[in-house]
Amino acid sequence: MSGRVVVVGSANVDLVVDVPRHPAGGETILGGDLRRSPGGKGANQAAGAARAGGAQTSFVGAVGRDDSADLLLASLRRAGVRTDLVWRLDVPTGTALITVSPDGENAIVVAPGANSHLAVEAPQAERIAAADVVLAQLEIPLDVVRAAAQARRPGALLVLNAAPSRPLPDDLWAAVDVLVVNEHEAADLVDDPAATDPAGLADALLERVPAVVVTLGGDGSLVARRGQAPVTVPARPVEAVDTTGAGDTYCGVLAAALARGEDLADAARLAAAAGALAVTRPGAQDAVPAASEVAALAAGPEPGSA
């Protein structure tokens, strides 16, 4: 292991139903069989970072004392994630209700449960202080993200996946080293009607943070850093089965690559390959690819290259 990643975030059990289409308001439709699988943005990203290889990965999160928690912890351990700092509380484990349409697109509602009670105390802060990269998202209280940012050592990177979208306080903006957002989340964070395309959104965000990755689904991603020309990373063409957790896989692999010392654009290329593989399989953590699969896909020619 050449790096250390600590993921501070949510853990949910995913209840997934395939649907012919997503229902409209007030509508009932019949779906397929119910699937129950491990998920949550934080836990998914931790699994992605651990399976990426080369970075020891710890997860700081909170779960209940129910069988959903047992499912989540077992999945994380299978992926190689350290779970000794996960809180077990006398509240229900977080649950995500997910519908998946035939084109692989999903709609998600989350009941946070134990995630709302997460805190960073001395043992968690000590592990965070030893990390090269701290990765967080916004399915947990903002005060927890703040505490994680404050606990990291000088020189360590805070990578924030600002999802689900919500306003960020100034002190958290100031702490972020790499912001990862999709196009919709980027637009929510930018108070500039003239910034409508990914490049314009990234430029506006660079006024607040040193580096931005805007993920664009099937159109790839845009990597932008202050003082440097933006880099477009094309998506790998695949047939999507289920997009649940693909963005989380992207973030986890990106964090692991940065912890190993990779350049941000190179890290994004690995992350893009991992995200592409993830959408070809159902589930979230269950769909995270192995490092060897990611390396093989990333080593091939990029789409559009000669």
By DSSP bridging, strand 221-225 and strand 231-233 are: antiparallel
Q: Is pLDDT above 50 for 306?
A: no
Where is average pLDDT lowest: 76-85, 95-104, 118-127?
95-104
Q: Please, which pLDDT band fits residue 196 given cuts at 50, 70 and 90?
A: confident
Q: Please, which pLDDT band fits residue 137 given cuts at 50, 70 and 90?
A: very high
Structure-token pair, residue 96: 């995500």
- Count of alpha carbons within 13 Å of 3, Cβ hemisphere only? 23
DSSP H helical ranges for the chain: 41-52, 67-79, 122-129, 142-151, 170-175, 183-189, 198-205, 246-259, 264-278, 291-299
70 counts as catalytic: no
How far is the C-alpha of 137 from the C-alpha of 40, rounded, in Å? 10
Tokens 């390959």 map to which residue? 273
Average pLDDT over residues 29-50: 95
Where is average pLDDT lowest: 2-6, 16-20, 296-300?
296-300
Average pLDDT over residues 150-157: 97
Q: Which of 170, 248, 266, 286 is catalytic?
A: 248
Average pLDDT over residues 16-23: 94
- Count of alpha carbons within 13 Å of 79, Cβ hemisphere only? 37
Q: Please, which pLDDT band fits residue 6 given cuts at 50, 70 and 90?
A: very high
Averaged pLDDT of the chain: 93
pLDDT of residue 3: 96
Query: Running DSSP on this structure, what letter comes out for residue 219?
Result: G
What is the torsional sign of CA 276, 257, 255, 125?
Answer: positive
Output the 3-class SS for 228-286. CCCEEECCCCCCCCCCCCHHHHHHHHHHHHHHCCCCHHHHHHHHHHHHHHHCCCCCCHH
Q: Which residues pair with 119 in a beta bridge?
A: none
Q: Is the pTM of this model over 0.85?
A: yes
Determine if the peptide bond prior to 123 is cis (ω within 30°): no
Q: Is pLDDT above 70 for 270?
A: yes
